[in-house]
Amino acid sequence: EVQLLESGGGSVQPGGSLRLSCAASGFTFSSYGMSWVRQAPGKGLEWVSANSGSGETTYYADSVKGRFTISRDNSKNTLYLQMNSLRAEDTAVYYCAKASGYSSGRSEYWGQGTLVIVSS
């Protein structure tokens, strides 16, 4: 059974940093791309970032490019999102999702999310 468990959310001041983690199990982690998708309170889904199974290929939404970094440790079956220079508009629930393929594809499975609040 595929399981994705996010952690690392919390409250941070504008300009601060957080690192989110997503622990994966139930599949061969290094064989699949992974994504981060966020949802601001009461709003829709926004794709944030993705990487390939090896982690060598990465993609970012313009809204986070230069501030967020996606990475993964395939030995630990864990996906990360390093978030720097946080802004109030980054406040959201952050979901990790498993892609259907090595570098892209639909988001087949989702974690339950971790809440990030950026506020002074």
* Residues found near other proteins in the complex (CB under 8 A): 35, 37, 44-47, 50, 59-62, 95, 100, 104-113
What is the closest distance, in whole angstroms, from the C-beta atom of residue 110 to other proteins in the complex? 4
What is the closest distance, in whole angstroms, from the C-beta atom of residue 64 to other proteins in the complex? 10
The beta strands (E) that lie in 26-84 are given as 34-39, 45-51, 58-60, 68-73, 78-83
Using the minimum distance from each CB to other proteins, give the nearer residue, 16 or 61: 61
CA angle 79, 92, 118 (to 5 degrees): 100
Using the minimum distance from each CB to other proteins, give the nearer residue, 60 or 80: 60
Using the minimum distance from each CB to other proteins, give the nearer residue, 56 or 62: 62
What is the closest distance, in whole angstroms, from the C-beta atom of residue 120 to other proteins in the complex? 27
Using the minimum distance from each CB to other proteins, give the nearer residue, 52 or 78: 52
Give the three-state DSSP class for 76. coil
What is the closest distance, in whole angstroms, from the C-beta atom of residue 75 to other proteins in the complex? 26
Q: Which two tokens stand for residue 7?
A: 């952690």
Q: Which residues of 4-41 are buried (b: 16+ CB within 10 A; e: fewer)?
A: bebebbeebeeeeebebbbbbeebebeebbbbbbbeee
